[in-house]
Structure 1
């Protein structure tokens, strides 16, 4: 059974192996270039940020590709071709047939994801230390443990979709839809609530205002950063006694140029209340989110093993 599953999977494995070798070579070269150049932080960003972002995009897409091209066709093409009947009429049980397929391709997904994630984490680590933005969606999802969990989840999702629909192209479409929705909801809805955030009061100086991403017509700010931390939410601008800044005072400050607005707001002795996740919790978040994805993976696998016993031949 293992040999048969390997023969059916070897074409995808060969393509993936060639891709991984090329990608690993690019990452090793990039890592060496970053380290051999003796660059300062701003120089690292100028010379290498574009290439790192490109590789981040590749790794963000990799789990979806695993689900589409490894997971969805794994069982659905057997149904489309009728080859499942030959196996099911032998001594191999349906559950064993599906379990072997899941374990073989799952191991391949873990190895591929771990290799690329480890190399990208190593290659980009000098730039990551300078930016200090470990919790952002693109960095968190392409470093360390998370990409491996994403890949295994996408694979089993594709297998179960193929088992339920029995047609490869619709199964691929369903896999992509569910995976994209999951990846969109997780960083925006689930991740902020994995641990209770810390609270602090942040003074709004002229320098802080100059580093903000947005100043609107209402007395609130956007883009406040806490070094090394993930800002979950910020309150409206507050005065020294904790009251909300009067709209007319705020309006007078932002009516002029941005530079004058920064100086004006900085002179008002303002602050905001901030909910944030400190950088010390990074690994806790990695483990928690990976555990959630692996839990969903096991649940999907259980659904597949339950469904396979009741599937019509």
Structure 2
């Protein structure tokens, strides 16, 4: 037991922030228990079809049980919370953990008690990194377990599509990578800003900006898309992540739908595209089989950025407190 005991700056960090750490553990257990409970409740409701429909298979009516609808709602908002967690982690590390010591001058006392500046910063990074990696990883596993079951149903609940930004960020290893990046950004922001509230704002906004950039402009390019045409392109609109769609001319030129939805055009979009020379539909898609390649590539990139930000934090510490 003594070999595993926390010592030095790590012990001090855990001791000083034990209440938020216990609070995070309680929130983790509550979240996981809620998801597991809803999953068990949903599975216990009698359904007449494998996809969860309570009505007869093959009819025109689709009806979920109250348990299923509640689970869908909880998963949607829970996934949003999982993504927001990274922003909260960044703000906490930047403010209460790093900037507060610098702003109050407490670091002078800590550094004179056999703790070097490097050991102090290492503890500020390692403690939250271990906590969020374990906690977010466990919760992502629980969310994926429940999502896999719920996503098999029908009913048009598109918010649980695997490529929805919030769902995507909650059911794979990228969620852990973003949490670790948040720790690194928080540490660097705390060292640079040195004011608790300002550092929290900078870290949270920076982490959010990185996540938005990845989701909105980078993610779709991390793995080659598949191009489908004809009926497959139409089917892909509801079953895959469509990045580009339109029509092809006889020569293979791509036509975008957007000009045909202009209010200035009096004809229907399909007729408009035909007048422009469109002969068949096309779509560039990421099918569900691309989930893991996209996740793994994005995870690697984010972890690489986190490592660079961590190195930058130690560089700033050395330059300012050598």
What TM-score, normalized by structure 2, do the two folds share?
0.78
Number of the residue aligned with 2:24: 16
How big is the shift at 1:189? Answer: 1.1
Number of the residue aligned with 1:219: none
Q: Answer yes or no: is 1:281 the counterpart of 2:281.
A: no
How big is the shift at 1:47? Answer: 5.0
Query: 2:285 is paired with a residue of what secondary structure?
Result: strand
Structure-2 separation of matches of 1:77 and 1:138: 32
How big is the shift at 1:312? Answer: 4.4
Please tell me whether the aligned partners of residues 94 and 199 of structure 2 are also in contact (alpha carbons under 8 angstroms). Answer: no
Q: Answer yes or no: is 1:186 the counterpart of 2:214.
A: yes
Please tell me whether the aligned partners of residues 34 and 123 of structure 1 are also in contact (alpha carbons under 8 angstroms). Answer: no
Number of the residue aligned with 2:36: 28
Please tell me whether the aligned partners of residues 145 and 286 of structure 1 are also in contact (alpha carbons under 8 angstroms). Answer: yes
Number of the residue aligned with 2:13: 5
**2:237 paired residue among 218, 225, 235:** 225
Number of the residue aligned with 1:75: 98
Q: Deviation per CA, 1:154-181, whole angstroms, max 9, x where unpaired?
A: 1221111011111110001111211121
Number of the residue aligned with 2:165: 137
Please tell me whether the aligned partners of residues 31 and 124 of structure 1 are also in contact (alpha carbons under 8 angstroms). Answer: no
Structure-2 separation of matches of 1:230 and 1:20: 30
Structure-2 separation of matches of 1:17 and 1:179: 22
How big is the shift at 1:52? Answer: 1.8
Gap runs ≥5 in structure 2: 1-7, 54-61, 155-159
Number of the residue aligned with 2:245: 234
Query: 5 Å matches for 1:168-207?
Result: 168-203=196-231
Number of the residue aligned with 2:182: 154
**Greater alpha carbon shift after TM alignment, 6-15 vs 268-277:** 268-277
Number of the residue aligned with 2:56: none
Structure-2 separation of matches of 1:47 and 1:26: 11
Q: Deviation per CA, 1:69-93, whole angstroms, max 9, x where unpaired?
A: 2443211111122111112224322
Q: Deviation per CA, 1:121-167, whole angstroms, max 9, x where unpaired?
A: 11222122336831221221111212111111112211110111111
**1:254 paired residue among 249, 268, 282:** 268
Structure-2 separation of matches of 1:124 and 1:163: 39
Q: Aligned-pair RMSD on alpha carbons?
A: 3.1
Please tell me whether the aligned partners of residues 181 and 306 of structure 2 are also in contact (alpha carbons under 8 angstroms). Answer: yes
Change (3 A) 1:192 1:269: closer
What TM-score, normalized by structure 1, do the two folds share?
0.81
Please tell me whether the aligned partners of residues 203 and 269 of structure 1 are also in contact (alpha carbons under 8 angstroms). Answer: no
How big is the shift at 1:241? Answer: 6.5
Number of the residue aligned with 1:216: none
Q: Deviation per CA, 1:189-223, whole angstroms, max 9, x where unpaired?
A: 11111122122213499xx5xx9xxxxxxxxxxxx
Query: 5 Å matches for 1:282-297?
Result: 282-297=291-306
Change (3 A) 1:284 1:312: same
